[in-house]
Chains A and B, each alone.
Chain A
Amino acid sequence: MRLLIFTLIFFKFFSPVNANSIYYLTKIPNLQIYNLEASNGIKYLKAEKSFTVGIVKNNVQCDEPNENYIKNKFKIIKKNLDKYKKSFLNKINLRYVVLCENLKVSDIRTAGVPNIDVKTLIIDIKSDPKYFERSIHHELFHMVDDSYKNLFPQNKWNEFNDSNFQYAECSTCSNRSNLSLMKSSNGFLTEYSMSTASEDMAEIFSFLMTDEVNLSKIILRDPILNNKVNFIVGETKKIDNNFKFNK
C-alpha cells in the first residue's frame, strides 16, 4: 500500500510541466492557436512542434504541420466543420481541433483522434486526400458515439447485419482497411465499414455528411444499409432535432 502511495505521488509530482494555457485545457503539449474565428465556436489549434500524448502510455504522436500545406487544408477542414452548429458541437463535446501531420496511434497512421474528455479532435492534415473530407466527419462521429453510447448500442447495430456476419475485435485487428466505396454494398459502404460496428456507423455518418445523394441511391437497393442509415439519422436527431445532414 505504501509503495502504491509513493508511486502515485511520484507520477503526480514528477510529470513534466507543459507550460502554457492551451495545455491546461487540452492536455496536449506544444500547441498554439491557429484560428479562433469560427462562428460555431470551434477553436483551431496547431502543433508548433511534435507532441506525444496518452493516458497510460504516450501512444498518440503527431508532428508540426507544414505552413503552406496547412493553409489549403484548413479551408477544407473549416468548410466541413462549419456544417455543424455550435449547439450540436456542445452536445457532442467538440471544442478544439488540433491540426498536425503524421498522426499515429501506437505507431499506426490514423486520420484523426477524438477525445471527448478534453473536447478535442486531432486531425492529420496529411491523411489520404482522396478521403480527407469524409474522414473529418467519420472522426467527428466517434465523438457523437462516445458522448451518447446509449443511443448507438453495438448489439442493436449487429442485428442489422446478416446473422453469419462478424466484425473484427478492433478496427486495426483486421485487414479490412480500404475506404473506397464498394461496388456491391451488401450492408456495408466500404471495406473499413466491416471492421467494427463503431467504424461502420462512422462510415455511414460520413457519407451522410458528404455524399447523401449517392447514398440515397445505394440504400434503395440495399435494405440492410437502408435500416442502418435510418438508425443513424434517427438517433442523431434525438441528440439534436434540428440537425441537418449534408447542409
Chain B
Amino acid sequence: MALKLADYKTDVHNDWCPGCGDFGIVNAIQMALADMGIQRDKAVMFSGIGCSGKTSHFINTYGIHTLHGRVLTFAQGAKITNPELTVVAIGGDGDGLGIGAGHFVAAGRRNVDMTYIIFDNGVYGLTKGQASPTLKLGEQTKSLPSPNTNYNVNPIGLAVASGFTFVARGYSYDIKHLKDLIVQAVNHKGLSFLDVLQPCPTYNDINTRDWYAGVDLMDEAQKRHSRIYKLEETGFDPVVHYADEVEINEKLSQSLIKSLEWGNKIPIGVFYKNDTISPYITRLQDKIPNYMENPPSKQNISKNGHSNTDISKILDSLEV
C-alpha cells in the first residue's frame, strides 16, 4: 500500500513558536520520505537537543531523540550495525557545530551512508537566544547583552573540508526545493550534509524571513530582491565526475568559495557531490566479505540458548 504524506506525521503536539522556520523543515522531511516511498519501519530519525531535537517525535518512523551534540554518534552506530536502515540525523547549529563539532569532523572522515540536516538559525533558541556558532562576529541578536565576540563557523566549508561527500544548503521557506534536496541527500551513497537556513522568529531579529526575502533591499520600483538564489540556476556544477585529484580539488575549491558568499547574495542548492569516495560500510566489507548480507544486527549469536561462536582456533593458539 502506497504511503501518503499524512502517514509520516505523528499526532504529537508541536510546541515550536508560531512562525518558526522548523515547521518547513519537518514538512519537507515528511514530504521527501513520502516521495521516496520509504517504509516507515525501515527509517530512523535521530535528533539532538534543542528545538530541532523534538523533530524525531513529529515524524512517524523510528525516532531517537539523543543528547546535545551527540546525534551523529548514535546515528552512525545504528547504520553501521544495520546498513539496511535509512538514517537521518537532525540537529541545530549549536548542537552540531558547537558542542558536536568534533563528531561532525570525524563523521565526515568516515562517510557513513546517511544524511545529516542542520537547522541553522544563528541562536540557541531553547535556552533563550544565546549566540550560536553560525552567528557572525559583532552581530547582536535581540537577547544578547553585547555583540557576539566569536567568529562564525562556515558549515558548508567545514563539511567539505571534513570529507562529507554530499554538501548542500536549503532554505526552510522554500519547502519544495528543500524537499528535493533531502531526496538527493538521502539517495546519495555516503554521508550527506544539508545546512538549512531557518529564521528563528523569537530570538534572531537579524536573519529574519523578511531579511532573507530581501525586503530591506527593495528598489524604488518596490521590486524585491531576495537574498537567496539557487546554485543550479547559475549553471554551477557541484559534481565530481571522475576520481582524479585535480577534478576533486577543483570541485572542493569552488564549493568552498561559494560557501563564503553571504550578505546580499546567499546561495542554496548542492555545493559539492562526490561519489568517488567509498562509503564506510564498503570499507568494512573490504575486510569482512559478508558484512552486507550478515551485518552485526542480523547475526545469529546462539544455538539452543548457548554460544554458537567457535573460538576454538584462538584457544588452541593459547593452549600450552
Q: Do A and B come from one complex?
A: no
Interface residues of B (CB under 8 A from A): none
